[in-house]
Structure 1
Amino acid sequence: MASCSDILRTEFPELDGEVFAYVTGILHSSGADFESVDELVEAVGELLQEVARDGKDESAIRDVCQRLFNCLQLDEARAQRCSQVLLDAPIQLSQITDGYDANTDLLPGLLLKRGQTSMVNAKKLEKAEAKLKAKQDKRMERDSVKSSSPLVLEEATASQAASKKETRMESSGKNKSYDVRIENFDVSFGERVLLAGADLNLAFGRRYGLVGRNGLGKTTLLKMIASRSLRIPSHISILHVEQEVAGDETPALQSVLECDTTRESLLREEKELTAKVNAGRGEGTEGTRLSEIYAKLEEIEADKAPARASVILAGLGFNTKMQQQTTKEFSGGWRMRLALARALFARPDLLLLDEPTNMLDVRAILWLENYLQTWQSTILVVSHDRNFLNTVATDIIHLHSQRLDTYRGDFENFMKTKEERLKNQQREYEAQQQYREHIQVFIDRFRYNANRASQVQSKLKLLEKLPELKPVDKESEVMMKFPDGFEKFSPPILQLDEVDFCYDPSHYIFRSLSVSADLESRICVVGENGAGKSTMLKILMGELAPVRGIRHAHRNLKIGYFSQHHVDQLDLNISAVELLARKFPGKTEEEYRHQLGSYGVSGELAVRPVASLSGGQKSRVAFAQMTMSCPNFYILDEPTNHLDMETIEALAKALNKFRGGIILVSHDECFIRLVCHELWVCENATVTRIEGGFDQYRDILKEQFRKEGFL
């Protein structure tokens, strides 16, 4: 394929050096700016027509510009990188100095021979240069603003059709129902429509599980409800467990008690009135008011509140000592648990939970499942944990195709009903298609038969009246593949021998810890939060050094690590493609896109800022980054957090096919059962292998609950 320089030389053989250099300079330095051939004609067409010796007309000049434009498009990436004129071949200055003015200091491509006058119209050249300069200045200004401005993410918006009846009832105060009915509403995220003409009906006292693929808008919908961007009757209280509790001097137990604003207000007033009476500053009405306050406190069982708050905190893993610690002493994960405890204690009319099991260990999840089964008001929960939804949910809401479908029953019932519904829908569609074809055959056969005209018209009307059924819109299957790095190693592969470890000499995390794994291992580590699970993983990887004992790893062992805080390790201001390019330079964009596509990050998702992706999509980016170097052993810390169920299943299948070793920390019972063959329990400064697997561990926890009075 001819280059731009070749095209110019062929079409304009008499083109002088000044014009040639000017035009090639525009093509190479600003080629990326030309979005159409019209812009290219505007920039250089008039100039080329002026200097053409053979009198090319506008049509011929446009044809040449079209060829130049096509040439630029073939290698746009290269054109964008070019910022100067590229010479087609090296030039020996000593061979071309004859015939040129020795006093000039211009480059050879810009020189004129002695006595040769430029054929360029100076005014037109200035005009063309002014146009180009204005275009470049505008581009520089745009790039400058883009680089200096902080990343601004798109915002979610919601709109809803007004209901005059509901508006009248709300304004009159007659609406006493605690059911939530949101009809005919839309939700968008930037320019992307998440829900269109959707309906959401939540009956008071029922527990709804909201499910759907990552990135479809489950979390956004919860935020729209919590912020009342969608109309919710004002008398219905809403609590959305989204942000961790702020760290201050308030003890954890008191932080939970303060959620009951009615109780706190009554206690504060009671204290003030009592102080007035004791100081002799009363007005005589204090006694009556105190009686009212005591009656109200008795009515709301204020004296039982501390015990109820303590039970909730204990169930979520806060021991007696932790309940008295100030909130600022806790990590982010524990503050999220505290936020959940406050919501459970406050008992709102509508409780919104977004992946509540992400912050909990298996023990706390079992307690929460049991606690929520007795919940009196309404719950809407987003969760990827099948077992949690099967235990807690009375109904499932499926978000797909920009709409919401509701199913009665738990998650397993939802899966069966949905499958049956899809089969029926497909059967109805196929039957109607056959019926339409049968009628169309009759119409085509007798269309021009006068004797059958009335029958043909009748059939045409029948076709028009048939409801238009759509084929089943099946969701694409999620695929994941972990590249094999398997080769036979002689054991030991990875082991800890009599390891002691501590951050503080007064408190040892592990004493005499001995564990080992090989390239066939499928090990899950469980235990309460704070028992040392993540610490053990870091010792196994060599990130933390034992105080005593030995860590041994085979010299050819290549570990891939997925952190439960993987988002903190991603640069959120750049795209996923740029992220891989910085981490693994030297590959083509196509290779980076292929790697991301293997984990479901394809199309425009790959070039959007990582910050704009959903939690599950960020996890997929982290998987793509982790597997790029083809490890032969994976250590995964809570890999299922934020992933939808389809992706969790795809992850489990990929790990089962992977030929190498795996150690993972997880609280997802279904995922553990799909992947792991061994169960390690981290507790009491050591690790114990449970022969009976997860079933035995679950029985142990239930027995502990019975002893502690939780069951």
Structure 2
Amino acid sequence: MLSINNLSYFIGGRTLYEDASLHIKPKDKIGLIGLNGAGKSTLLRLINGNYQPDGGDISKSNDCSIGFLNQDLLSYQTEDSILSVAMEAFGEAVETQKAIDQIIKKLETDYSDGLVEKLTKQQEKFERLEGYSMQAKAEEILEGIGFNTQDLQRPLKEFSGGWRMRVMLAKLLLEKPSLLMLDEPTNHLDLPSIEWVENYLRNYEGAVIVVSHDRQFLNNTINKVVEVTQQQLTVYEGDYDFYLEEKELRSEIQKNAFENQQQKIKQTERFIEKFRAKATKAKQVQSRVKALNRMDKVEDVIDTNAVVNFKFEFKQKSGRHVIRLEEVSKSYGDLKILENTSAHIERGDKIALIGANGKGKSTVLRIIDGSEPIKGNREEGYNVLKGFYAQHQLESLQVNNDILEELKQAGTEKTELQLRQVLGCFLFTDEDVFKKIKVLSGGEKSRVALAKTLISEANFLLLDEPTNHLDFQSENILIQALQQYQGTFITVSHNRHFVSQVANKIWYIENHEIKVYPGTYQEYLYWREQNPAESTEAPKPKVEKKEKSQTKKHTDEDQRRLQALKKELNQLEQEIDKLEKDINELEAHMAKPDVYGNPDELLQTNTKYESKKSTLDNLNEQWEEKALEIDMLEE
């Protein structure tokens, strides 16, 4: 259906593709993957004809039509209703409908046989084009990807970029091109819409190429993976999970071949160097020089599975109760978001707020942050330091700063070496840290903004769609960082793999209430499958009910007790910090070979270590008790 033969493409002095080839068959469902900046979107534009190859060619059969969903469509606006825009997919049928309407209007004054015959022919053509069902099909797809029936007649220009992108997706699906190309379609879809699109693509009659960083979406839609790596297109016949297994096997084989070849090269070079000056060995030396020049070099394996050890540092721990929402209501005019709902966040909660768009998930984050006015009570616990990551923070980056300077302005006391170590965790190494923000891709900007959030020393993070624009490697780094995070966080995300890896509690909004499932995402899905009649409801959270009463007035004695407790808590924190440093030094001391090999010294050091650990546990318990009492006195 479509063939890419010996494709080469360059941007400035950078090679994106060199002699790359790929053959796409009529029913292929391809997941196009690779690191940010590898050239995935560029390949789609080359196939679509927006760019021209520098070498090789892209050929397609005469009956191959292409539909391309890309981020440029976000800016498209019109006064036409979203239903009308979607129905543009039935171009010939829409024009036939207009012709029928004109003939019917003429028939009001002209009853000639010729006009009636013309109407009959147009109606037959309209039926042949399935024109009588086109509106129903358009409505089905638009509602399937999240639009309400009452929205279908609203002008496209009234919707945000993400919703306009959905209309463009609906139009493409209705056009049913031979090759459907989707660039990050899940960025603008909520979970119900993603599941609907997955089902549609599984049964799609044509070929599909999708660029996505949602691994579950890929597993549910594709039968082939094409990886953009080292200027080539490498094919794996299977879904994303198969790709991971097969890539590991191929990488192991390639690594062994690379190491064996390197060893052979070194031996040959040593021979050449040793006998270069000996006339009796001149023939053998020349033979080996020619052999080296003819050798097809095996590339080393690029490790895309970075393992990070991100050390989070808090100035202080939060109290047990982080945020309490009591009888909260929130509306925008007639649009009701929350009504008399309550929810509590405790220290150590890792919450994923999931569900359909339009339910108010981002609004809930702002309510928790305290930046959204509400009816009801919002109470913030003791020592809570917030860090908020949202998509608008990408725009707040200073475009003329380099990456390192941007992190320096995050307000921490970290040294330049420490900041470079943090950036290394987020794949910015060596001279990369001096890149200007303005030249970064969307994914690179997201990594910078996330790094700024994570070094803020906040003990409570609010993360709004943090995986948008991240490639698999960057997403894996974020997952590892959050798994190592010892504070509290709540994240809004439609990325099911991400949620399954980081959350220990699931929140969602239903009937204008915050509902809680007290378990992991996998457990939530299992519960939903086992309870189909209640699939939209999860067990209510077990929270302490706060008695409604007048605001408590603190007595002078309460105030004195509160001040004393804060002083004691501060003293405990200093002692805990010192003990933690002592314990770290003892751990490092025990790891030294001369200590490890000396049983007496090892025993003595280990005794000190256990004693300090015991004291630290005791101090942490005291800290918990005092922090809880402070929480109660401040209520």
> Structure 1 length normalisation: TM-score?
0.67
Q: CA deviation at 1:201?
A: 2.5
Aligned to 2:504: 677
Q: Deviations over 1:2-23 (max 9, x none)?
A: xxxxxxxxxxxxxxxxxxxxxx
Please identify, of 666-675 and 227-236, the stretch whose mean Cα deviation from structure 2 is larger: 227-236
Amino acid at match of 2:374: P
Q: Is the 8 A contact 1:215 1:613 kept in 2?
A: no
Count of equivalent residues? 527
The SS at the match of 2:23 is: strand
Q: Aligned residue for 1:59?
A: none
Query: Mapping of 1:369-388 within 5 angstroms?
Result: 369-388=198-217
Name which of structure 1's ranges 687-696 and 227-236 shifts more when overlaid on structure 2. Answer: 227-236
Q: Hey, what's the Cα distance between the residues in 1 that align with 2:148 and 2:366?
A: 26
Superposed, 1:301-450 pairs within 5 Å as 301-432=130-261
Q: Whole-Å Cα distance in 2 between the matches of residues 457 and 190 of structure 1?
A: 38
- Structure 1: state its 5+ residue gaps: 1-178
Which structure has the bigger radius of gyration? 1
Matching residue's letter, 1:183: N
Matches of 2:2 and 2:365, distance apart in 1: 45
Q: Which amino acid aligns with 1:472?
A: V
Residue equivalent to 1:518 = 346
Say if 2:412 and 2:455, in contact at 8 Å, map to a contact too.
Answer: no
Residues 355 and 448 of structure 1: is their aligned pair in 2 closer, same or farther, counting only changes over 3 Å?
closer
Q: Decide whether aligned partners of structure 1 residues 480 and 289 sit closer, same or farther in structure 2, where only a CA change above 3 A counts.
A: farther
1:449, 1:597 → 2: CA distance?
A: 49
C-alpha distance after superposition, 1:349-377 (max 9, x if no partner): 22221111111111111111111101111
CA contact 1:363–1:701 (8 Å) conserved in 2: no
Residues 541, 459 of structure 1: alpha-carbon distance in 2 compared, 3 angstrom cutoff: closer
Q: Deviations over 1:455-479 (max 9, x none)?
A: 8887777666654434334447264
Distance in structure 2 (CA, Å) of the matches to 1:449 and 1:585: 64
Deviations 1:592-639 (A, max 9, x none): 656544422345554444343222111011112323432111010110
Q: Does 1:254 align with 2:81?
A: no
50, 71, 74: which one pairs with 1:244? 74
Q: What does residue range 32-431 of structure 1 map to in structure 2 within 5 Å?
A: 179-230=1-52, 231=58, 233=60, 236-242=64-70, 243-244=73-74, 246-280=76-110, 286-287=115-116, 289-431=118-260
Matched, 1:471 2:294: no
520-529 vs 338-347, which moves further: 338-347
TM-superposition CA deviations, 1:34-60 (whole Å, max 9, x none): xxxxxxxxxxxxxxxxxxxxxxxxxxx
Match of 2:364 in 1: 536
Give aligned-pair identity as a percent. Answer: 33
CA–CA separation in structure 1 for the residues paired with 2:320 and 2:282 = 86
Report the residue type matching 2:345 in the other structure: A
- Which secondary structure does the structure 1 equivalent of 2:490 belong to? strand
Deviation per CA, 1:465-494, whole angstroms, max 9, x where unpaired? Answer: 654434334447264736321644433221
Q: Which of residues 483, 506, 509 in structure 1 aligns to 2:337?
A: 509
Q: Is 2:456 the partner of 1:634?
A: no
Q: Deviations over 1:517-538 (max 9, x none)?
A: 1231111111110111111110
Provide the rounded CA distance (Å) in 1 between the counterparts of 2:129 and 2:482.
Answer: 52
Distance 1:388 1:616 in 2: 19
Judged with a 3 Å threshold, the aligned counterparts in structure 2 of structure 1 residues 194 and 433 are, in CA distance, closer, same or farther, namely: closer
- Checking the alignment, whether the CA contact within 8 Å between 1:486 and 1:659 is kept in structure 2 is no
Q: Is the 8 A contact 2:315 2:457 kept in 1?
A: no
Structure 2 gap segments, 5+ residues each: 53-57, 537-635
Question: Which of residues 545, 553, 567 in structure 1 aligns to 2:380?
Answer: 553
Identify which range, 288-297 or 671-680, moves more after superposition.
288-297
Cα displacement (A) at 1:329: 3.0
Deviating more after overlay: 394-403 vs 190-199 = 190-199
Deviation at 1:306, TM superposition (A): 1.5
Distance 1:484 1:459 in 2: 56
Q: Secondary structure at the match of 1:664?
A: strand
User: 1:330-353: per-residue Cα shift (whole Å, max 9, x none)?
Assistant: 222222222211111121222221
- 1:647 is aligned to 474
After TM superposition, give the deviation of residue 570 of structure 1 in Å.
Answer: 3.0
Indicate the RMSD between aligned Cα atoms, in angstroms.
Answer: 3.5
8 Å contact kept, 2:506–2:516: yes
* Structure 1 residue 288 displacement after superposition: 5.0
Residues 328-337 or 580-589, more deviating: 580-589
Bigger shift: residues 437-446 or 284-293: 437-446
- Residues 255-303 of structure 1 show CA distances to partners (whole Å, capped at 9, x for unaligned) of 2112221211221222223333443287x65455444433332223221
1:107-142 Cα shifts (integer Å, max 9, x gaps)? xxxxxxxxxxxxxxxxxxxxxxxxxxxxxxxxxxxx
* C-alpha displacement of 1:682: 1.4
- SS of the counterpart of 2:74? coil
Letter in structure 2 aligned against 1:648: E
Distance 1:374 1:633, change over 3 A: same
Does residue 689 (structure 1) correspond to residue 516 (structure 2)? The answer is yes
Q: Which residue of 2 aligns with 1:620?
A: 447
Deviations 1:433-455 (A, max 9, x none): 56667778999999999999988
1:604 to 1:336, Cα distance in 2 relative to 1, 3 A: farther
Code of the aligned partner of 1:512: N
Query: Structure 1 counterpart of 2:40, which letter?
Result: K
Q: Using the TM superposition, name which of 218-227 and 404-413 deviates more.
A: 218-227
Tell me, yes or no, if the aligned pair for 1:484 and 1:658 is still in contact at 8 Å. no
Cα distance in 1 for partners of 2:279, 2:431 equals 56
Q: Supply the AA of the counterpart residue of 1:399.
A: V
Tell me which amino acid in the other structure corresponds to 2:443: G
Shift of 1:224: 3.3
Q: Using the alignment, how far apart are the partners of 2:380 and 2:199 within structure 1?
A: 42
1:619-662 Cα deviation digits (max 9, x unpaired): 01111232343211101011011111111111111011112101
**Deviation digits for residues 547-591 of structure 1 (CA, Å, limit 9, x no counterpart):** 1x2111124211111113333333445543454456649998777
Aligned partners of 1:528, 1:310: CA distance in 2, in Å? 19
SS in 2 for 1:510: strand
Partners of 2:270 and 2:395 lie apart in 1 by 63
Q: Is the alpha carbon distance of 1:417 and 1:613 closer, same or farther for their aligned partners in structure 2, counting shifts above 3 Å? A: same
